[in-house]
Structure 1
């Protein structure tokens, strides 16, 4: 068997002078030199002499005509044999590169049949009329198609990965929301359970009192009735005895006896006094607070589960320079001393106000505002449109994109087209603000007593932001979910 070195030496003898690779479809020109058909064809296509003029051999510079080169089948056979020897003499060579039918090296690809061919297959009648190209040349367009497919697939994979990341984040948010709702259900039902136990104790104590009063009046009734029965029994016995006596004895003091019996009237006692009876009839009224509390519980539970708690953080870029913002961006205090805040288009320059980060363009959201007002201070809470005026005077009314209420020392006002002072049972110190973007509701509720404060109805078309205003030395507010 030929050694690898000798095979390599033979292979060097059948190299193309143009591409320096093994001859592919060798052709011979007038001077006798051999070249790859493809290499010589491209050489002849290089701009130069006119078609009728002779070309120079790339190797010896002898003239030849462009159409005068002839296929050298014997040399092609030699090349195939050398390639076969190279495969045999090379350890680990892939025998799949040889034709199964002829055992020859595969050099060509039939694009019509998508078949790989050796030189003998190429000359067979089945492929003569087909488009047959060298393997490398035929593979190049497919490489380009594969590259385009790879680019598309990689983009699709990246898009799927982005979707996966986004949906995983969404799932985490939903899991957090479910966990929050679970805690709210547990807390609200625990609160309801405690309230029901307290009301049960109160109602049972009242029933126990009614029960004791009924038994006490029954005892009094039994005593009174016993006394009456005893008196009437005594009279009956006296008359029976009188009736059984002889005429003389019967007539003795007869008139006195009859007068005493005739004037004796029966007292008709009542077992249950009217007052106690009224208390028993009025007892169902004691359940009215329970009914009211249950209604409030169901409304609050529905509200807590329907609205998403908003994670509110205040935006320092919008804060008026007189407002001191805490490091966690959840608490604000008023100060007459101006802060060194750079001016920017987002900052309020006259109204001592601040907005929250983010804003909303859909959904139901709720947040809690805890207010601590010094004497004469005030706090404004609500929502504003993203295009609300930040510079100059700010008119707090819906026409200007502001839906808010003002809490001051001792009163609360709804800032509608004309401010309206609200009649509330108690001034709120914690206000629950709720936004239903699609329906267009901005609702304010006393978070402690659950007393409704006010509801604005609007038609939102732009992003809205939680809005806060503060005035008065020592006044402050904080936000939470």
Structure 2
């Protein structure tokens, strides 16, 4: 049966019984031979006569059933590669988004750095003006003092000159009583007339730095922007966090929490003692404490097995620790601030109310890895602000 461009049921029917062939055999259109081979060069089935022809003689060929089997193997191998390609494209898209986010982060951070240094520049400029004004004031005072002293000296010199001239004229006179009226005290040298340079330059840098502390604020813990859940917005100085109804479009980087609305401190601790305060006024639901560096950031399960904290929600206080159930905590007066104190080597994590000077709870645990401060938002009213303050 010869192959044609368009085949109907008649082409596949028996001329005697008119039934359609169940397993029709396709023949070569050139030589009417069965197509038994597959030309690997031209990617088409051929017959044995075609293989010896000038067109295919130098081409590699394989049995047709091997080619069909090979095609099936290729299809089978192609599916996971296509899936892999899909994953790579998704990751590339994520990388493109992250690269754009990095650029935006850098531009925003640069603006904030310039703003902070502008404050320093303004402070130093005004301080410089004040110091120079003080110097000019002293210069004016002492210049005026010396001017008056010079004028007085000029008058006394003039008077003394007149006296000397009179004496010279009366050298031959017998009456010398006038000499008693010519006594003048010796001129006094002016002390403290020079500029007090030490007052203006002595420890100038230290005194300016000491004064600068009024405009420089230090907090023992700042928040790590790249760990914050997309529902949380951090302040520019990274010391407070609030909930947002609109989820931010942020990279899903490995450090970021995607289920719990929480954020970590920027610095972890694996030694020493550390303390920080968190303002929780007007917040209806919060969870504060420390969490291990190895905590699973994606999903809900990892957090509970890697954190120690005090939790407030629904008007009740509880404590939680790895592999332990929530434990009720009796708090007689709602705190405005929570102080967290960590003694890593001593294995103690304490919570207290610094305003009312009240101890709340202390965990004891042998810490074996770096832990980070964390803030977790439990409920989401219009505005929930947690601010980390100085102690």
Normalised by the length of structure 2, the TM-score is 0.54
Partner of 1:145: 73
Match of 2:374 among 456, 465, 470: 465
1:119 aligns with 2:48: yes
Match of 1:228 among 138, 156, 167: 156
Partner of 1:184: 112
Partner of 1:284: 201
Is the CA contact (8 Å cut-off) linking 1:383 and 1:403 kept in structure 2?
Answer: no
1:161 aligns with 2:161: no
Higher relative contact order (CA 8 A, sep 6+): 2
Match of 2:290 among 380, 383, 386: 383
**Alignment CA distance shift 1:197-1:218 (3 Å):** same
Is the CA contact (8 Å cut-off) linking 1:397 and 1:403 kept in structure 2?
Answer: yes
Q: Secondary structure at the match of 1:408?
A: coil
Taking the aligned partners of 2:11 and 2:327, their CA distance within structure 1 comes to 93
Give 1:183 deviation, angstroms. Answer: 3.4
Q: Secondary structure at the match of 1:107?
A: coil
Taking the aligned partners of 1:156 and 1:12, their CA distance within structure 2 comes to 46
Taking the aligned partners of 1:282 and 1:362, their CA distance within structure 2 comes to 42
Match of 2:102 among 174, 179, 196: 174
**Alignment CA distance shift 1:314-1:9 (3 Å):** closer
Taking the aligned partners of 1:193 and 1:478, their CA distance within structure 2 comes to 31
Give 1:393 deviation, angstroms. Answer: 6.7
Partner of 2:254: none
Taking the aligned partners of 2:82 and 2:205, their CA distance within structure 1 comes to 68
Residue by residue, what CA displacement relative to the aligned partner does 1:446-474 show, whole Å, maximum 9, x if unpaired?
A: xxxxxxxxxxxx86446753379xxxxxx
**Alignment CA distance shift 1:267-1:382 (3 Å):** farther
Is the CA contact (8 Å cut-off) linking 2:38 and 2:61 kept in structure 1?
Answer: yes
Is the CA contact (8 Å cut-off) linking 2:139 and 2:195 kept in structure 1?
Answer: no
Taking the aligned partners of 1:397 and 1:164, their CA distance within structure 2 comes to 41
Partner of 1:479: 386
1:265 aligns with 2:182: no
Taking the aligned partners of 2:144 and 2:181, their CA distance within structure 1 comes to 33
Higher CA-based Rg: 1
Give 1:293 deviation, angstroms. Answer: 5.7
Taking the aligned partners of 2:158 and 2:267, their CA distance within structure 1 comes to 82
1:253 aligns with 2:199: no
Residue by residue, what CA displacement relative to the aligned partner does 1:68-109 show, whole Å, maximum 9, x if unpaired?
A: xxxxxxxxxxx65xxx3xxxxxxxxxxxxx5xxxx7677122
Give 1:211 deviation, angstroms. Answer: 2.6
Tell me which protein shows more helix as a share of its residues: 1
Give 1:400 deviation, angstroms. Answer: 5.8
**Alignment CA distance shift 1:138-1:312 (3 Å):** closer
Q: Secondary structure at the match of 1:158?
A: helix
Match of 1:207 among 129, 135, 149: 135
Give 1:241 deviation, angstroms. Answer: 1.4
Taking the aligned partners of 1:253 and 1:161, their CA distance within structure 2 comes to 123
Partner of 2:313: none
Is the CA contact (8 Å cut-off) linking 1:357 and 1:465 kept in structure 2?
Answer: no
Is the CA contact (8 Å cut-off) linking 2:229 and 2:261 kept in structure 1?
Answer: yes
1:20 aligns with 2:22: yes
Normalised by the length of structure 1, the TM-score is 0.46
Give 1:292 deviation, angstroms. Answer: 3.9
Taking the aligned partners of 1:401 and 1:465, their CA distance within structure 2 comes to 17
Give 1:232 deviation, angstroms. Answer: 1.7
Partner of 2:122: 194
Partner of 2:297: none
Taking the aligned partners of 1:404 and 1:177, their CA distance within structure 2 comes to 34
Count, aligned residues: 298
In structure 2, runs of 5+ residues without a counterpart are 233-241, 246-259, 270-275, 293-305, 309-318, 321-325, 330-339, 378-383
Q: Secondary structure at the match of 2:385?
A: strand
Partner of 1:408: 355
Give 1:188 deviation, angstroms. Answer: 1.0
Residue by residue, what CA displacement relative to the aligned partner does 1:210-261 show, whole Å, maximum 9, x if unpaired?
A: 2321231122112221122122212211222133x4xxx2xx134x456665
Match of 1:392 among 296, 303, 327: 327
Residue by residue, what CA displacement relative to the aligned partner does 1:326-376 show, whole Å, maximum 9, x if unpaired?
A: 9869xxxxxxxxxxxxxxxxxxxxxxxxxx7345598679x9944659xxx
In structure 1, runs of 5+ residues without a counterpart are 25-78, 85-97, 316-325, 330-355, 374-378, 419-457, 469-476
Taking the aligned partners of 1:220 and 1:207, their CA distance within structure 2 comes to 20
Taking the aligned partners of 2:92 and 2:117, their CA distance within structure 1 comes to 37
The RMSD of aligned alpha carbons is 5.6
